[in-house]
Structure 1
Amino acid sequence: MAENRTSTGHGARAKVVGAVAVVVGWAGLAAALVLVAHVVLTVGEANPDNGITSTIRDLAQPLALGFHDLFTPRDPKLAVIVNHGVAALFWLFARSLVLRLVRRLG
């Protein structure tokens, strides 16, 4: 009987860990995609007054963390490409690292 409770508890823990992994995975991917979308809209010279463009820009700024002014090239487009690109790579790396840790807990 104790074995049944242990296996049931392990199954519940595995479900929770699996759910956390899914949330972490999607959150990290969403952050990277917002940053990449901001880069694409900036390089493509999207209308900055457009609702989509301004929403993506507003979402990207806090997601860029400390990377938004890490490099300061003279060309503002290049600055967005490099800084927000590095931030997107950071989110993908952090996502991968956290997913590994979460899965090891499970």
Structure 2
Amino acid sequence: MTRHRGIAAVVMAVVGVIALILALHIIFVLLDANRGNAIVSTIGTWSWHLAAWFRGLFQTGSGNWNTVLDYGLAALAYLFVGRLAASLVERV
């Protein structure tokens, strides 16, 4: 039982890091962070790949709102699916 809880914790930690990357990207876009900065650029590249299925989902006419909705929904989806996967691992 303890081993399965440990695996579930790892799943949630990974999902938490993914959600953090997506949230940081949203913050960087909203604050108009320097895209030439290595951290901003790296987070932008990672989030671009992580939110692949969600990019372009919303067309509000505002780039900032599109980013908040697309990447925010991606973060929520990762958290939801990660929690679901963790609970399934705990039950096994």
Superposition TM-score tier, normalisation by shorter sequence? over 0.9
Partner of 2:8: 21
- Taking structure 2 as the reference length, the TM-score comes to 0.93
Q: Any residues of structure 2 matched to 1:69-84 within 5 Å, and which?
A: 69-84=56-71
SS of corresponding position for 2:53: helix
CA positional deviation for 1:46: 0.3
Identity %: 32
Please name the residue that 2:86 is paired with.
99
Instruction: List per-residue Cα deviations over 1:58-89 (Å, max 9, x = no partner).
Output: 11011113101111221111110110000011
CA-based RMSD of the aligned residues comes to 1.1
Measure, in 2, the Cα distance between the counterparts of 1:73 and 1:50: 28
Q: Which has the higher helix share?
A: 1
TM-score by length of 1: 0.81
Deviant stretches of 4+, over 3 Å:
none
Q: Determine which structure has greater relative contact order: mean sequence separation of CA pairs < 8 Å that are 6+ residues apart, divided by chain length.
A: 2
Q: CA deviation at 1:16?
A: 3.2
Structure 1: distance between partners of 2:90 and 2:47: 28
> What residue ranges of structure 1 are gaps of 5+ in the alignment?
1-13
Structure 2 unaligned segments of length 5 or more: list them: none
What is the rounded CA distance, in whole Å, between the counterparts of 1:90 and 1:28 in structure 2? Answer: 10
Q: Residue type of the partner of 2:60?
A: P
Structure 2 counterparts to residues 41-80 of structure 1, below 5 A: 41-80=28-67
Letter in 2 for 1:96: R
Instruction: Point out the structure with max Rg over C-alpha.
Output: 1
